[in-house]
Amino acid sequence: MCGIVGIFGNHSIATEIYDGLISLQHRGQDSAGIATYNKRFHLHKGMGLVRDIFRQEHMNFLEGNIGIGQVRYPTVGGYGLEDAQPFITGSPYGIAMAHNGNIYNFPELKKELIDNEYRYINSNNDVEVILSIFAYELSRFCHKEFFDSISMAIKSVYNRCKGGYSVVGTIADKGLFAFRDPHGIRPLVWGKRKNAKGEEHIFASENTMFEFLGYDFYRDVEPGEVVFIDMEGVVHTKIVEQKEFRPCIFEYIYFARPDAFLNGVSVQRARLRMGQNLAFKIKRDYPNLKIDRVIPAPSTANTAALACAHELGVRYTEGLVKNSFVGRTFIMPEQELRRKANKYKLSPIDLEIRDKNILVIDDSIVRGNVSKHIVNIIRRHGARQVYFASTAPPLKWPDLYGIDMPIRDEYVAHDRTTEEIKKYIGVDELIYQDLEDVIEAVVRKKDKIKFTRPHTAYFDGDYPTSDVDEKVIEKVEEYRRQQRKQAKV
């Protein structure tokens, strides 16, 4: 999962892109980059956190009133600087591009582009494939009206690139563009700001930076829609290709910040409802469970745990304190890094745990390492009973659209029953939220949103893109295994 920002302003915008990336740092901690345009492209990118990559001399260099930025954690590609975004190509015109998502037919497309269209792909990052297809098709249509040329080029991207993605980009002396995959799997929001010089626009994975940058939330970019803002500030929009709207439900469960508003749904409210629905299940199916404290696995689960505790009539307490400087272990690229980080991530408050029956609530259970670690900490500090509840159902299928969950046998629930998982993580009771209750928590305000069936394939195998079968899944899994071996080398 990555975070992207694109800004069309009427003044230098590098600092605003930097601030936007800081707000999206939770979406990727592997690398970051900014590209601006002012009669030429200016690019700086590096490995690590945004605050460590950009210095004042870099910001001074990033001139221009149009630009894009990205924070990354890898789902396709390696972990080196050559795979950091944005990417730039010189023809036609000059195009810079960054994306959030995943193209699962990337290896085939890379070979096609090299063998048949003579476009060399230098990296293992799938955005370079999107950029190459877009550039190739734009060069074929560039004699027509320019926005039509962009739309036709994006149509070709939709036809060839299989997966989920949101994209921002700039074209030299032409303007800023943004588009979203036909199912709207990955989020992309649009904000506007007016001043004496005119109207300015921002596109981002979340609207979390709109308030302090002074932008008003305008709307989501629609599935299959392209938005182009030319150098005169004129806005062009078109639905190029639209299919069933299937936004990723994991945005609401884990990835997005609670202050985000995506696809007409408040992430905060969705998580509150997840906690409420989880409490309903506990009261219905586990009526004899004696709970003294509800403790969240910090910090994504805090909101759901608060609602669950309120509904259960049990005291909520943050009995585990998170070291916020460790980062989000789920999006760290290597298993050993995640295990090491877990040791430093959490510190218990003994008074809230000792001699009590503890219900721990987490947003999900992926590999089981964090869950097991939390249970061990709580037991060491004298809890009588430890119960564990997940606001998400068991994860069993790989994600193909931009979440680093591509291999089934990495899931703790892949070949284990709930009872076996319960023993593995060492709890007295294990409770998974039902899928229909998670979906209901997100789509409860049906009259205010445009979708009823989010993407939940990692729970139930129901993939939005219709061509996914066992052969495709096995190919993706094998490709990811090979990449991880190469990364270790």
E strands in 257-384: 261-262, 265-266, 293-296, 315-316, 320-322, 346-348, 357-362
Q: Are strands 385-390 and 175-180 parallel, antiparallel or unpaired?
A: unpaired
Tokens standing for residue 413: 């629930």
CA angle 224, 211, 86 (to 5 degrees): 50
User: Which strand (E) or helix (H) includes residue 97?
Assistant: strand 95-103
Q: Are 250 and 267 in contact (CB under 8 A)?
A: no
Distance between alpha carbon 102 and the CA centroid of its chain, in Å? 10
Amino acid at 398: P
**CA-based Rg of the chain, rounded to a whole angstrom?**
23
Residue with tokens 């260099």: 61
Per the omega criterion (within 30 degrees of 0), is the bond before 132 cis? no
Our CA angle for 254, 259, 265, nearest 5°, is 75
Show the CA angle centred on residue 473, arms to residues 467 and 479, nearest 5°.
Answer: 120
Beta carbons within 10 angstroms of residue 172's beta carbon:
17
Q: How far apart are CA 9 and CA 363, in angstroms?
A: 37
Identify whether the C-beta of residue 87 lies closer than 8 Å to the C-beta of residue 35. Answer: no
- Stated as kind and residue range, the H or E segment containing 478 is helix 470-488
Q: Residue 76 and residue 487: Cα distance in Å, rounded?
A: 12
The DSSP result for 111-180, as a single string, is HHHHHHS-----SS-HHHHHHHHHHHHHHHHTTS-HHHHHHHHHHHHHHH--EEEEEEEEETTTEEEEEE
Angle in degrees, 0-180, between the axes of helices 126-141 and 106-116, rounded to the nearest 10: 40
Determine the length of the chain: 489
Joined tokens for residue 377: 């900490």
The structure tokens listed for 131 are 């950029």
248 is an active site residue: no
CA separation for the pair 247, 409 (Å, rounded): 25
Q: Return the sign of the alpha-carbon dihedral for residues 72, 74, 75, 78.
A: positive
Per the CB < 8 A criterion, the answer to whether 78 and 483 are in contact is yes
* DSSP letter for each residue of 10-21: SS--HHHHHHHH
Residues with catalytic annotation?
2
